[in-house]
Amino acid sequence: MEGAHITNTSDLNYPNEHLLSDAHWLKNYYQEPNIVLLDVRASGYEADHIPGAYWLDAKALKDSSSCTFAAADALAYLLENVGVSNDSTIIVYDDGGGVLAARVFYVLEYYGLKDQVKLLNGGFAAWTAASYETTIDLPLPSKGALTLSAHSELVVTKASIQAGLDNCLLVDTRSALEYTGADQRSNRKGGHISGAVHREWNDSLEGADQDGVVRFKACRDLKQQFDALGIDPAKTIVPYCQTNQRGAHTYFTLRLMGYPHIRPYEGSWDEWGNDEFTEVSQSNASFSSLSNL
């Protein structure tokens, strides 16, 4: 039956539930003129996508050479060419886990589109599980008009971490092995930033349902987990990972839950773990017991 397994986000009691769309809502509203639908999956767009969706390369939102954001003018050009304007409501989806969609969400909020971006809960998998229409047809070209401005209060830098952050908590959202240093990947150093607690990004997601769809946990469950780690909304929360994709996912989760002060470390381990002057810890004292859930 069409839509049988859709979860209504209003049942999950998120303080900022407007940031998360379910497939049923999207089915009713995706053709509205002010809505821009972005498919940010790494692959699969050419084979099948939601009608009207434009493809956007999530990696294009970062300047990898400097471990920071793509420039505002370059990003505005990309977004204008998929129809985004200053008054657009932007719906972003990926395969389902949300890590690429959340990355786009964070960068667009950093550049001033706060509360104008929504994630599709369960992503493309939720849409197809509901037996909604898909297409291989490309949407008609559309040109938006967009002005972006950076909001420095939504990011921290390596220098600010080294100088000491007041009333802040670093949250390492990588895997357990990356956190302890057992998995160094291709970095110069392994481990984590001293004082960071560990909470893997995908601890925010339920297990796959009978249709293989992965959605966000209910707010009460997320709050219980964050509280257990001392991730207090009275503090400024600083998520990070390797390149701030997984960190951006935690940024989105905390925004959804109404946490007021979230400032990801954009450089993340790609910068910290490859700088000869940064200090690292390989102690697992702050290791999250939730990391293997």
Q: What is the pLDDT of residue 7?
A: 47
Range of the domain at 116: 13-129
Same-domain pairing of 81 and 160: no
Q: What is the pLDDT of residue 284?
A: 62
CATH classification of the domain holding 228: 3.40.250.10
Per-residue pLDDT tens digits for 14-34 = 999 999 999 999 999 999 999
Same-domain pairing of 162 and 97: no
pTM comes to 0.93
Same-domain pairing of 22 and 107: yes
Per-residue pLDDT tens digits for 59-99 = 999 998 899 999 999 999 999 999 999 999 999 999 999 99
* pLDDT class of 8 with cuts at 50, 70, 90: low
Average pLDDT over residues 245-257: 98
Per-residue pLDDT tens digits for 159-216 = 999 999 999 999 999 999 999 999 999 999 999 999 999 999 999 999 999 999 999 9
Establish if 236 belongs to a structural domain: yes
Judged against a pLDDT cut of 70, whether residue 3 lies above it is answered with no
Same-domain pairing of 122 and 22: yes
Give the sign of the dihedral formed by CA 20, CA 26, CA 32, CA 38: positive
Same-domain pairing of 21 and 113: yes
Establish if 74 belongs to a structural domain: yes
Establish if 147 belongs to a structural domain: no
What's the chain's average pLDDT? 93
* Count of the separate structural domains present in the chain: 2
